[in-house]
Structure 1
Amino acid sequence: MDNMTQDLWQHYQTPLFLLTQALSCNFSFAVITAHNPASTLLSSSQNRLLDRQLLREIELLGSPYRALIGASPDLSHMEKSWAVFIDRSMALQLGKKFNQYAIYMVERGEVSLVPCTLAGYNEVCLGRFNDYVRLVYELPDLVT
């Protein structure tokens, strides 16, 4: 495990989720993005294309979903993401399909960081999902 990947893993453990409406934690759901696969920074147009592909995959599942932004606490890094009401195995398949290092799973109101394509990392329970949520009137436009 190189230092850069370890640093990323640490950063993933302090997420901020920007939502336009509260999500019920009575149901399990995953938070998944298609942005910046394998932590490679892409242009906003490349990320939008991947996001549209992910949305098509989500719609094919026929499960409820909501748009959100996954961000660093200081908002210096933001990625369009989706809360998708699917089980863990489906969520991991989607994360792997879009070459994501990790996804977030919310189960019984607790959020965990779950590795997808990173070998040698273990799932980390981060605590209550709502502690990482900020409600906003509208999601910010993302430009890189």
Structure 2
Amino acid sequence: MSTIDDHFWHSYQHTQFLLTQGFSPALSFAIITAHNPRGRVLSAPQNRLLDSQLQRHIIELKRPYRAIIGASYDRRHMEKSWAVPIEKPLAVALGRQFNQNAIYFVEGDQLQLVPCLLNYPELTMGAFSARVCLVSELPEIQS
């Protein structure tokens, strides 16, 4: 595995999630983004276009979904994502379709980091609720 892959995998393990409303701990769902495919930072307009494409795919699944922001703890890096109650294999396939290195999956309030394009083992990261930050509204993503 490359050093850059190691960097991404490590940074994904230090993510918090900005929400406007909490989730039931009994709910299982995937957290998927289309931003910055393969870890390459794109412009805000490019990311918005990819995000709207991902949202269209999610709508076609006919499942409820909710916007969520994945952010570094210092909030210097944020990515709009979608929380969707779908099965893990479908979530990974969607992540691969949008060239994502990994997705998150939450089951019984346990947060899992699940590789899509990277060659790492799935990683359980503890309680999802411990990484949630409730906000009155989701911030605009600038990049």
Shorter chain as normaliser: what TM range?
over 0.9
Distance in 2 separating the partners of 1:56 and 1:67: 13
Offset of residue 116 of structure 1: 0.3
State the partner residue of 1:123.
Answer: 122
Distance in 2 separating the partners of 1:30 and 1:17: 13
Offset of residue 3 of structure 1: 1.2
State the partner residue of 1:133.
Answer: 132
CA RMSD of aligned residues (A): 0.7
2:39 pairs with 1:32:
no
**Partner amino acid, structure 1, of 2:98:** F
**Partner amino acid, structure 1, of 2:17:** F
State the partner residue of 2:41.
Answer: 41
Is the contact between residue 25 and residue 106 of structure 1 (CA under 8 Å) also seen in structure 2? Answer: no
State the partner residue of 1:13.
Answer: 13
Offset of residue 2 of structure 1: 1.3
State the secondary structure of the residue aligned to 2:27. Answer: coil
State the secondary structure of the residue aligned to 1:140. Answer: coil
2:80 pairs with 1:77:
no
TM-score (normalised: structure 2): 0.98
Offset of residue 142 of structure 1: 0.9
**Partner amino acid, structure 2, of 1:7:** H
Offset of residue 123 of structure 1: 0.7
Offset of residue 25 of structure 1: 2.3
Unaligned runs of 5+ in 1: none
Which consecutive segments of 4 or more residues in structure 1 shift more than 4 A? none
Offset of residue 136 of structure 1: 0.1
**Partner amino acid, structure 2, of 1:118:** L
Distance in 1 separating the partners of 2:103 and 2:94: 9
Offset of residue 27 of structure 1: 1.8
State the secondary structure of the residue aligned to 2:7. Answer: helix
State the partner residue of 1:88.
Answer: 88
Distance in 2 separating the partners of 1:31 and 1:114: 10
Unaligned runs of 5+ in 2: none
Identity of aligned residues (%): 53
Aligned residues: 143
